[in-house]
Amino acid sequence: MQLAESQAMIGQKLDDAMTLARAGQLDAAETSLHQILIAAPDHPDALQLLGMVARSRGDHDAAIALFDRSLAVRPDQSHVLNNLGNSLTDSGRHTEAAQAYERALALNPGYAEARMNLALARLALGQPASACDTLQPALGAGPNRARAWAILGRALGDMKQGARAIDAWRTALRLRSGHLPWLHNLAVALRLTGRAREALPIFRECAARSPHEAKIHYNLGHCLQDLGQIDAATDAYRRAIRLTPADAEIHDSLSRMLWQHGRVHAHVQSYRDALVDHPDDPGLLAGLANRLTLVGEPQAAADLLAPAIARGI
């Protein structure tokens, strides 16, 4: 095959593969890309597209290996470095991910997506101040400005700078009005700074818009509890429990609140109710045993745990 014909074939196969991948036809896209590699084993575009296919399938190790191969051939691909960082993030390898994003930004300082991904990696590494510094160039302009402000809100929250976090969330919402996850995070930030009364209508709006999201009902319960609305808080916690019956943290919050307000029977019953459907859940078993001990029933707690211990739970 002549060089021009070979290059034309490769170009067509790449176009076909991208079209197929966008349509979700990953097997066909992979076949087309492997045909390219038969003719050109180190073709960087084919390798990086195969990496994207592997990541779409959740095969992060394969994706990382393919992105590395593409970069070995052509190191100056900022978008491939960003994709490598994403796959490393998927694998929980946040230090290496941050290094990949840094390399992408060294090649292209205006690459907003890589900048925000680097900030998220630094948050995952427990470096919120560094994440804030990373975000500064992305806050002023550009199509991703709203997301940059939202990530800044997270970073400031991690730094316990509640007032600044609230301002960041409000700015993000001005740029992308009504975005539900950010609205919920604004309500959380308000509550954590002692502004539960301001947070309450926002939590209620979020719960109405996303009635099947347990986390929203859970945080609504905390907000109502802060305001002394114990019956309403109980209802919110129980809605969260109905959505995620085995979540020991929600049971613990409900149980602790009921205990603090003298509702001893209800305090224990929430765990019993959950164990009907999840009899072997270790968190629920431990929680109920702890509650039984607190109400003066240590033998009942021991009897509850004995079968679980015997079964190796």
SS3 286: helix
Splitting the chain (313 residues) into consecutive groups of 10 residues, what average pLDDT does each group show?
53 69 71 78 88 91 96 96 98 98 97 97 98 95 91 98 98 97 98 98 98 98 98 96 88 87 75 77 82 82 81 68
**Would you tell me how many other CB atoms lie within 10 Å of the CB of residue 277?**
10
- With contact defined as beta carbons under 8 Å apart, do 49 and 14 qualify? yes
At residue 21, the pLDDT reads 66
| pTM attached to this predicted model | 0.82
Q: Which residue has the tokens 């205990």?
A: 259
- Residue 175 neighbours by CB under 8 Å, 6+ apart: 145, 146, 149
Residue corresponding to tokens 């316990």: 160
In a domain, 153, yes or no: yes
Is 164 within a domain? yes
294 part of a folded domain: no
Give the pair of three-digit tokens for residue 211.
């009635």
Q: How much is the pLDDT for 20?
A: 66
Residue with tokens 């993000």: 172
Measured CA angle at 92 (ends 120, 123), to 5 deg: 25
Query: Which DSSP string do the residues of 220-275 spell out, in sequence order?
Result: HHHHHHHTT-HHHHHHHHHHHHHHSTT-HHHHHHHHHHHHHTT-HHHHHHHHHHHH
Domain membership of residue 300 (yes or no) is no
- Find the length of the chain: 313
Asked if the structure places residue 1 within a domain, the reply is no
The predicted pLDDT at position 2 comes to 43
Residue 141 resides in a domain: yes
Rounded Cα distance, 223 and 153, in Å: 20
Domain assignment of residue 122, given as a range:
64-71+80-86+96-105+112-177
Asked if residue 147 is part of any domain, the answer here is yes
Taking alpha carbons only, the member of 284, 226, 292 closest to residue 259 is 292
**Residue-wise over 207-233: b if at least 16 C-beta within 10 A, else e?**
beebeebbbbbbbbbbbbbbeebeebb
- Angle at CA of residue 126, ends 122 and 132, nearest 5°: 50
pLDDT of residue 42: 86
pLDDT of 5: 43
Q: What is the tally of structural domains in the chain? A: 1
* 28 domain residue, yes or no: no
- Residues 6+ positions from 265 with CB-CB distance below 8 Å: none
Q: What is the Cβ-side half-sphere exposure of residue 46, based on CA atoms within 13 angstroms?
A: 22
Q: Six-digit token pair at 119?
A: 């900030």
Query: What are 140's two structure tokens?
Result: 């002023």
CATH number for the domain spanning 121: value is: 1.25.40.10
User: What pLDDT is stored for residue 6 in this prediction?
Assistant: 60
